[in-house]
Amino acid sequence: MWYRYDMAGHRIQVDIPFALTVSRESAAFLRGPAERREEAPGLWTAVFRPVEDLPPLPAEGVWQGDTYFAGTETFHCPVRGKAPYARVTRRPREGMVRCEYRRGMEEELCYSRNLCDLLELETLLLDWGGLLLHASFIRTKGGRGILFSAPSGTGKSTQAALWEQLEGAETLNGDRAGLTRERDGWQAWGLPYAGSSGVYRNEGAPLAAIVLLRQAPENRVRRASAPEAFSGLYPEFTIHRWDARFAEQAMDSILALLGEVPVFLLECRPDGGAVAALKAALERKGEIAP
Protein backbone atom coordinates (compact mmCIF):
# COMPACT_ATOMS: atom_id res chain seq x y z
CA MET A 1 0.00 0.00 0.00
CA TRP A 2 1.40 3.36 -1.04
CA TYR A 3 0.94 6.72 0.67
CA ARG A 4 2.54 10.04 -0.13
CA TYR A 5 3.59 12.80 2.26
CA ASP A 6 4.01 16.35 0.94
CA MET A 7 6.17 18.29 3.42
CA ALA A 8 8.34 21.39 3.14
CA GLY A 9 8.07 21.44 -0.63
CA HIS A 10 9.26 17.83 -0.95
CA ARG A 11 7.50 14.52 -1.49
CA ILE A 12 7.97 11.19 0.24
CA GLN A 13 6.17 8.06 -0.91
CA VAL A 14 5.67 5.37 1.71
CA ASP A 15 5.42 1.67 0.89
CA ILE A 16 3.79 0.03 3.92
CA PRO A 17 1.94 -3.32 4.15
CA PHE A 18 -1.03 -2.09 6.20
CA ALA A 19 -3.46 0.84 6.27
CA LEU A 20 -2.49 3.97 8.15
CA THR A 21 -4.72 5.70 10.67
CA VAL A 22 -4.52 9.32 9.53
CA SER A 23 -4.34 11.65 12.53
CA ARG A 24 -5.68 15.20 12.40
CA GLU A 25 -2.33 16.96 12.50
CA SER A 26 -0.96 15.07 9.51
CA ALA A 27 -4.10 14.86 7.35
CA ALA A 28 -3.15 17.88 5.22
CA PHE A 29 0.29 16.40 4.54
CA LEU A 30 -0.73 12.88 3.55
CA ARG A 31 -2.24 11.47 0.37
CA GLY A 32 -3.23 7.89 -0.29
CA PRO A 33 -3.56 5.01 -0.19
CA ALA A 34 -2.57 4.06 -3.73
CA GLU A 35 -1.84 0.75 -5.40
CA ARG A 36 1.45 1.48 -7.07
CA ARG A 37 4.71 3.36 -6.76
CA GLU A 38 5.01 6.76 -8.40
CA GLU A 39 8.01 7.65 -10.52
CA ALA A 40 8.99 11.32 -10.39
CA PRO A 41 12.21 13.34 -10.07
CA GLY A 42 13.14 14.19 -6.48
CA LEU A 43 10.56 11.85 -4.97
CA TRP A 44 11.90 10.10 -1.86
CA THR A 45 10.82 6.57 -0.94
CA ALA A 46 10.32 5.05 2.51
CA VAL A 47 9.88 1.28 2.64
CA PHE A 48 8.45 -0.50 5.71
CA ARG A 49 8.88 -4.26 6.04
CA PRO A 50 8.11 -6.73 8.87
CA VAL A 51 10.83 -9.01 10.22
CA GLU A 52 10.74 -11.74 12.83
CA ASP A 53 13.42 -10.11 14.96
CA LEU A 54 15.90 -7.26 15.01
CA PRO A 55 19.60 -7.28 15.90
CA PRO A 56 20.69 -6.04 19.33
CA LEU A 57 21.57 -2.39 19.71
CA PRO A 58 25.09 -1.54 18.49
CA ALA A 59 27.66 -0.79 21.18
CA GLU A 60 28.32 2.73 19.87
CA GLY A 61 25.23 4.92 19.99
CA VAL A 62 23.33 7.63 21.83
CA TRP A 63 19.99 7.47 23.63
CA GLN A 64 17.49 10.29 23.20
CA GLY A 65 14.39 9.35 25.14
CA ASP A 66 13.38 5.88 23.95
CA THR A 67 15.23 6.23 20.63
CA TYR A 68 18.78 4.97 20.04
CA PHE A 69 20.88 6.65 17.34
CA ALA A 70 23.83 4.72 15.90
CA GLY A 71 25.41 6.15 12.76
CA THR A 72 23.05 5.86 9.79
CA GLU A 73 20.68 3.65 11.81
CA THR A 74 18.02 4.63 14.32
CA PHE A 75 16.42 2.12 16.69
CA HIS A 76 12.98 2.79 18.18
CA CYS A 77 12.25 1.06 21.48
CA PRO A 78 9.08 0.82 23.60
CA VAL A 79 11.09 2.17 26.55
CA ARG A 80 14.73 3.09 26.95
CA GLY A 81 16.98 0.07 27.25
CA LYS A 82 14.45 -2.44 25.91
CA ALA A 83 14.72 -4.39 22.66
CA PRO A 84 13.81 -2.26 19.62
CA TYR A 85 10.57 -2.69 17.69
CA ALA A 86 11.87 -0.82 14.61
CA ARG A 87 15.16 -0.07 12.88
CA VAL A 88 15.35 2.80 10.39
CA THR A 89 18.22 2.98 7.90
CA ARG A 90 18.77 6.08 5.76
CA ARG A 91 20.38 6.31 2.31
CA PRO A 92 20.10 10.03 1.46
CA ARG A 93 22.11 9.83 -1.76
CA GLU A 94 19.48 7.43 -3.08
CA GLY A 95 16.53 9.29 -1.59
CA MET A 96 15.68 6.16 0.40
CA VAL A 97 14.57 5.39 3.95
CA ARG A 98 14.05 1.78 5.04
CA CYS A 99 12.26 0.68 8.20
CA GLU A 100 12.30 -2.90 9.44
CA TYR A 101 9.84 -3.53 12.26
CA ARG A 102 9.08 -6.57 14.38
CA ARG A 103 6.05 -8.43 13.14
CA GLY A 104 3.13 -7.85 15.48
CA MET A 105 4.19 -4.27 16.31
CA GLU A 106 2.08 -2.63 13.63
CA GLU A 107 0.17 -0.70 16.29
CA GLU A 108 3.32 1.32 16.97
CA LEU A 109 3.52 2.36 13.32
CA CYS A 110 -0.02 2.66 12.01
CA TYR A 111 -0.68 6.27 13.06
CA SER A 112 0.43 8.75 10.45
CA ARG A 113 1.97 11.07 13.07
CA ASN A 114 4.08 8.18 14.44
CA LEU A 115 5.29 7.58 10.92
CA CYS A 116 6.53 11.18 10.75
CA ASP A 117 8.56 10.50 13.89
CA LEU A 118 10.02 7.34 12.39
CA LEU A 119 10.97 9.19 9.22
CA GLU A 120 12.84 11.77 11.40
CA LEU A 121 11.60 14.98 9.89
CA GLU A 122 14.60 16.97 11.14
CA THR A 123 16.94 14.57 9.33
CA LEU A 124 14.89 14.69 6.14
CA LEU A 125 15.04 18.49 6.24
CA LEU A 126 18.80 18.33 6.72
CA ASP A 127 19.10 16.00 3.72
CA TRP A 128 17.12 18.58 1.74
CA GLY A 129 19.47 21.36 2.86
CA GLY A 130 17.04 22.69 5.44
CA LEU A 131 16.40 23.05 9.16
CA LEU A 132 13.69 22.47 11.76
CA LEU A 133 13.07 25.46 14.04
CA HIS A 134 10.98 25.78 17.19
CA ALA A 135 8.87 28.81 16.24
CA SER A 136 5.39 30.13 15.55
CA PHE A 137 5.04 30.79 11.83
CA ILE A 138 2.77 33.47 10.38
CA ARG A 139 2.16 34.67 6.83
CA THR A 140 1.41 38.36 6.46
CA LYS A 141 -1.28 39.83 4.22
CA GLY A 142 1.48 40.52 1.71
CA GLY A 143 2.43 36.83 1.64
CA ARG A 144 5.69 37.06 3.59
CA GLY A 145 6.69 34.69 6.37
CA ILE A 146 7.65 35.77 9.90
CA LEU A 147 8.90 33.34 12.54
CA PHE A 148 8.61 34.04 16.27
CA SER A 149 11.18 31.94 18.11
CA ALA A 150 11.85 31.62 21.84
CA PRO A 151 11.79 28.99 24.59
CA SER A 152 8.36 27.56 25.41
CA GLY A 153 6.16 29.87 27.44
CA THR A 154 7.71 33.11 26.21
CA GLY A 155 4.74 34.17 24.08
CA LYS A 156 5.27 32.94 20.50
CA SER A 157 1.64 31.92 20.02
CA THR A 158 0.44 35.15 21.65
CA GLN A 159 2.39 37.32 19.21
CA ALA A 160 1.19 35.23 16.27
CA ALA A 161 -2.42 35.62 17.44
CA LEU A 162 -1.99 39.39 17.81
CA TRP A 163 -0.75 39.64 14.22
CA GLU A 164 -3.81 37.65 13.12
CA GLN A 165 -6.19 39.96 15.00
CA LEU A 166 -4.57 43.28 14.18
CA GLU A 167 -2.83 42.79 10.84
CA GLY A 168 -4.82 40.05 9.10
CA ALA A 169 -1.92 37.58 9.16
CA GLU A 170 -2.43 33.80 9.07
CA THR A 171 -0.80 31.34 11.44
CA LEU A 172 0.52 28.40 9.41
CA ASN A 173 2.07 26.56 12.34
CA GLY A 174 2.06 27.27 16.05
CA ASP A 175 5.20 25.48 17.20
CA ARG A 176 7.51 24.20 14.45
CA ALA A 177 8.60 25.46 11.04
CA GLY A 178 10.62 23.81 8.32
CA LEU A 179 13.16 26.04 6.57
CA THR A 180 14.54 25.32 3.12
CA ARG A 181 16.97 27.30 1.00
CA GLU A 182 15.49 27.91 -2.44
CA ARG A 183 16.98 29.62 -5.49
CA ASP A 184 15.34 32.94 -4.62
CA GLY A 185 15.88 32.79 -0.84
CA TRP A 186 14.76 30.97 2.28
CA GLN A 187 11.27 29.51 2.50
CA ALA A 188 9.35 28.63 5.68
CA TRP A 189 6.88 25.73 5.78
CA GLY A 190 4.14 24.51 8.07
CA LEU A 191 4.68 20.99 9.45
CA PRO A 192 2.59 18.28 11.17
CA TYR A 193 3.98 19.39 14.55
CA ALA A 194 2.25 22.32 16.23
CA GLY A 195 2.30 21.85 20.00
CA SER A 196 -0.85 23.05 21.76
CA SER A 197 -1.83 25.52 19.01
CA GLY A 198 -3.60 22.92 16.87
CA VAL A 199 -2.53 24.72 13.66
CA TYR A 200 -1.06 22.31 11.08
CA ARG A 201 -1.26 23.92 7.63
CA ASN A 202 0.63 22.44 4.73
CA GLU A 203 1.57 25.82 3.27
CA GLY A 204 4.67 27.98 3.03
CA ALA A 205 5.88 31.53 2.48
CA PRO A 206 9.10 33.33 1.56
CA LEU A 207 10.85 34.10 4.82
CA ALA A 208 11.02 37.83 5.59
CA ALA A 209 12.43 37.73 9.11
CA ILE A 210 12.99 35.73 12.28
CA VAL A 211 12.00 37.42 15.53
CA LEU A 212 13.56 36.49 18.86
CA LEU A 213 11.12 37.18 21.69
CA ARG A 214 11.79 38.36 25.21
CA GLN A 215 9.14 39.37 27.71
CA ALA A 216 9.64 42.96 28.92
CA PRO A 217 7.66 45.80 30.55
CA GLU A 218 7.99 47.94 27.40
CA ASN A 219 7.82 47.18 23.68
CA ARG A 220 11.18 47.62 21.96
CA VAL A 221 12.56 46.12 18.76
CA ARG A 222 15.94 46.24 17.06
CA ARG A 223 18.05 44.22 14.68
CA ALA A 224 19.85 41.49 16.61
CA SER A 225 23.62 41.38 16.44
CA ALA A 226 25.21 38.28 14.89
CA PRO A 227 26.16 36.80 18.31
CA GLU A 228 22.66 37.54 19.69
CA ALA A 229 21.00 35.94 16.67
CA PHE A 230 23.14 32.81 16.87
CA SER A 231 22.95 32.33 20.65
CA GLY A 232 19.21 32.97 20.68
CA LEU A 233 18.32 30.68 17.80
CA TYR A 234 20.80 27.81 18.08
CA PRO A 235 19.02 26.11 21.02
CA GLU A 236 15.71 26.30 19.12
CA PHE A 237 16.91 24.25 16.14
CA THR A 238 16.41 20.48 16.26
CA ILE A 239 19.95 19.17 15.84
CA HIS A 240 21.48 15.77 16.55
CA ARG A 241 24.41 17.28 18.43
CA TRP A 242 25.96 13.88 19.07
CA ASP A 243 26.23 13.25 15.30
CA ALA A 244 29.24 15.10 13.86
CA ARG A 245 27.96 14.97 10.27
CA PHE A 246 24.52 16.24 11.25
CA ALA A 247 25.92 19.00 13.48
CA GLU A 248 28.40 20.20 10.86
CA GLN A 249 25.82 20.24 8.07
CA ALA A 250 23.26 21.97 10.29
CA MET A 251 25.83 24.59 11.32
CA ASP A 252 26.55 25.38 7.67
CA SER A 253 22.82 25.86 7.05
CA ILE A 254 22.36 28.00 10.19
CA LEU A 255 25.23 30.31 9.24
CA ALA A 256 23.85 30.64 5.72
CA LEU A 257 20.39 31.41 7.12
CA LEU A 258 21.68 34.07 9.52
CA GLY A 259 23.70 35.65 6.73
CA GLU A 260 20.68 35.94 4.44
CA VAL A 261 17.60 36.43 6.66
CA PRO A 262 17.36 39.33 9.16
CA VAL A 263 16.87 38.48 12.82
CA PHE A 264 15.15 40.98 15.11
CA LEU A 265 15.05 41.10 18.89
CA LEU A 266 11.56 41.99 20.15
CA GLU A 267 11.28 42.82 23.83
CA CYS A 268 7.57 43.05 24.37
CA ARG A 269 4.35 42.95 26.26
CA PRO A 270 1.46 40.77 25.03
CA ASP A 271 -0.39 43.68 23.40
CA GLY A 272 -0.91 45.54 20.15
CA GLY A 273 2.03 47.81 20.82
CA ALA A 274 4.38 44.90 20.16
CA VAL A 275 2.76 44.36 16.76
CA ALA A 276 3.05 48.05 15.86
CA ALA A 277 6.69 48.22 16.91
CA LEU A 278 7.71 45.13 14.97
CA LYS A 279 5.70 46.09 11.89
CA ALA A 280 7.35 49.52 11.80
CA ALA A 281 10.83 47.98 12.10
CA LEU A 282 10.13 45.48 9.31
CA GLU A 283 8.75 48.19 7.04
CA ARG A 284 11.77 50.43 7.65
CA LYS A 285 14.10 47.59 6.67
CA GLY A 286 11.97 46.76 3.64
CA GLU A 287 11.25 43.22 4.81
CA ILE A 288 7.48 43.68 4.45
CA ALA A 289 5.46 46.19 2.45
CA PRO A 290 3.72 49.04 4.32
**What's the pLDDT tens digit per position in 57-101?**
998 899 999 999 998 899 999 999 889 999 999 998 889 999 999
What pLDDT, on the 0 to 100 scale, is given for residue 290?
64
Q: Is the pLDDT of residue 263 over 80?
A: yes
- Give the C-alpha separation, 289 to 98, whole Å: 45
Q: Is the pLDDT of residue 47 over 80?
A: yes
Question: Mean pLDDT across the chain, nearest whole number?
Answer: 92
196 — pLDDT class (breaks 50, 70, 90):
confident
- Give the C-alpha separation, 286 to 244, whole Å: 37
What pLDDT, on the 0 to 100 scale, is given for residue 185?
94
For 120, 147, 199, 239, 254, the CA distances from 113, given in Å and listed in that order, are 11, 23, 14, 20, 27
What pLDDT, on the 0 to 100 scale, is given for residue 209?
97
pLDDT digits (tens, 9 = 90+) for 244-257: 999 999 999 999 99
Q: Which amino acid is at 21?
A: T
Q: Give residues with Cβ within 8 angstroms of 42, minimum separation 6.
A: 10, 11, 95
- Give the C-alpha separation, 180 to 188, whole Å: 7
Domain ranges of the chain: 2-119, 131-284
Q: Outline where 29-171 has alpha helix (H).
A: 112-119, 121-127, 156-167
Topology (CATH) of 131-284: Phosphoenolpyruvate Carboxykinase; domain 3 (3.90.228)
Structural contact between residues 38 and 128, judged by C-beta atoms closer than 8 angstroms: no
